[in-house]
Amino acid sequence: MIDIAVLRADPDRVRANIEKKFQFQKLPLVDEALALDAKRRALQTEGDALRAGRNALSKQIGQLMREKKTEEANAVKAQVAVDAARLAEIERETPEVEERLKRIMMRIPNFISEDTPIGKDDSENVERERFLEPKVPDFEIPYHLDILERLAGIDIDSARRTSGQGFYYLTGDVARLHSAVLAYARDFMIDKGFTYCIPPFMIRSDVVSGVMSFEEMDGMMYKIEGEDLYLIGTSEHSMIGRFMNTTLDERELPLTLTSYSPCFRKEKGAHGIEERGIYRIHQFEKQEMIVICKPEESEAWYEKMWKYTVELFVSMGIPVRTLECCSGDLADLKYRSVDVEAWSPRQKKYFEVGSCSNLTDAQARRLGIRYKSAGGSRFAHTLNNTVVAPPRMLIAFLENHLRADGSVEIPAVLRPYMGSKTEITPKK
């Protein structure tokens, strides 16, 4: 959510930003917000005047009564009654206007970075860098479900019976590999100085509306029937929500946290053949990182955070590249975002395995996350980034480490988490 003072002072800048994101349907929101803001301020001014006048009129009534001027005192009393009725109307109307204004402001997108490329959708994202040389072996790489089944590592049929489409059982060495990657990612981030956390896996609606746009909420979140609780789509939600309506001390910043959680997503819509299997699913596990910092530090942290993900994948021998997300691919709260994509030797292309975002103060403004410094209270900046999400990572891992005989090599960094195993072999 942007600062209402900025909207008030420079509405054309807000309109231009909306146009850069190709959200032309949201342009009327600017005038609606300005009108509601003017009304809210007018109500505030009128209410303040009536409250101040009430005190003056009360003194006047007392003076008139002492002077035995009963008729004039009654006239002033009548005015007091009229003013009191109007003040009651203002006090009823003001919260309604403020709520309508807040809802509109939450739909106006955050300002994007000057470095963000302008484009309509993810097809216009811009490649930044590549890390490790992508290779295609001289043998055919099967679809990832076939690899997993040959390793006796997955059971989708049983999961369909117990839970429906979009779920799976991981078993044996593959399940162990899944846990090993998460444990390695946890320790990797701890070594970078991040504090490890396990957050709540459900959050209330006021946190949900603070951490994401309404459009994202509808497309992602599962609501618990009969309760004001939602299953988290990523641990970022509950991690950032932890600091809702708090004022931090400047000396506490930056807060650097890494968190593990299961994640639950609706994943609405139809997907192509390569997004079947375990690419798009309703439940998965993830290691996340978040940073809460001062405004002048957020761009430096943005660069550090995506590089941590790249370093992690490279340490496991998985080639990756980074893409700067274009304006039309940015969610409303995002100032800037970079996707990390892993190489798929089978498809001979890259696919997304993580995303790093700088939200500046937009998320903190919605959630009321401030910090106190010598210059007063300011909104903090918030950032988030995927360390690793094993379902998609597993696809890249299996394809890049598959051998011609069907076995999968375990890189050195993961062997301590796999009981010193060096490979996973097919099961007859």
CATH label, 4-105, candidates 1.20.140.10, 1.10.287.40, 3.40.710.10, 2.40.50.140? 1.10.287.40
Predicted pLDDT at 164: 86
Q: Which of 293, 55, 107 is nearest to 194 (CA)?
A: 293
Task: Provide the CATH number for the domain formed by 122-424 in this structure.
Answer: 3.30.930.10
User: Which amino acid, one-letter code, is at 397?
Assistant: F
Predicted pLDDT at 1: 87
Q: Which of 116, 128, 107, 104 is nearest to 20 (CA)?
A: 116
User: Which amino acid, one-letter code, is at 386?
Assistant: T
Q: Which of 395, 408, 327 is nearest to 144 (CA)?
A: 395
Instruction: Please check whether residue 293 is in contact with residue 307, taking contact to mean a CB–CB distance below 8 angstroms.
Output: no
- Is the bond preceding residue 142 a cis peptide, omega within 30 degrees? no
Q: Which of 228, 238, 246 is nearest to 198 (CA)?
A: 238
Q: Which long-range contacts (CB under 8 A, 24 or more apart) does 183-188 make?
A: 183/417, 184/413, 184/414, 184/417, 185/287, 185/312, 185/387, 185/388, 186/258, 186/260, 186/287, 188/308, 188/312, 188/315, 188/387
Instruction: Please check whether residue 128 is in contact with residue 307, taking contact to mean a CB–CB distance below 8 angstroms.
Output: no
Contacts of 265 (CB under 8 A, 6+ apart): 220, 222, 233, 281, 282
Predicted pLDDT at 58: 72
Would you give the DSSP letter of residue 402? B
Per-residue pLDDT tens listing for the chain (428 residues): 899 999 999 999 999 999 999 999 999 999 999 999 999 999 999 998 888 887 777 767 677 777 778 888 777 788 788 888 889 999 999 999 999 999 999 999 999 999 999 999 999 999 999 999 999 999 999 999 999 999 999 999 999 899 988 899 999 999 999 999 999 999 999 999 999 999 999 999 999 988 887 667 777 889 999 999 999 999 999 999 999 999 999 999 999 999 999 999 887 544 544 456 788 888 999 999 999 999 999 999 999 999 999 999 999 999 999 999 999 999 999 999 999 999 999 999 999 999 999 999 999 999 999 999 888 999 999 999 999 998 889 999 999 999 999 999 999 999 999 999 999 999 86
Residue 367 class from Cβ within 10 Å (0-12 exposed, 13-18 middle, 19+ buried)? buried
Give the sheet arrangement for strand 369-373, strand by strand: 246-249, 369-373, 376-379
Instruction: Please check whether residue 294 is in contact with residue 254, taking contact to mean a CB–CB distance below 8 angstroms.
Output: yes
Instruction: Please check whether residue 141 is in contact with residue 388, taking contact to mean a CB–CB distance below 8 angstroms.
Output: no
By DSSP bridging, strand 202-203 and strand 230-231 are antiparallel
User: Which amino acid, one-letter code, is at 21?
Assistant: K
Full 3-state SS string of 337-355 = EEEEEEEECCCCEEEEEEE
Instruction: Please check whether residue 108 is in contact with residue 8, taking contact to mean a CB–CB distance below 8 angstroms.
Output: no
What are the extents of the domains in the chain?
4-105, 122-424
- Rounded to two decimals, what is the model's pTM? 0.89
Q: How many CA atoms lie within 13 A of 9 on its CB side?
A: 5
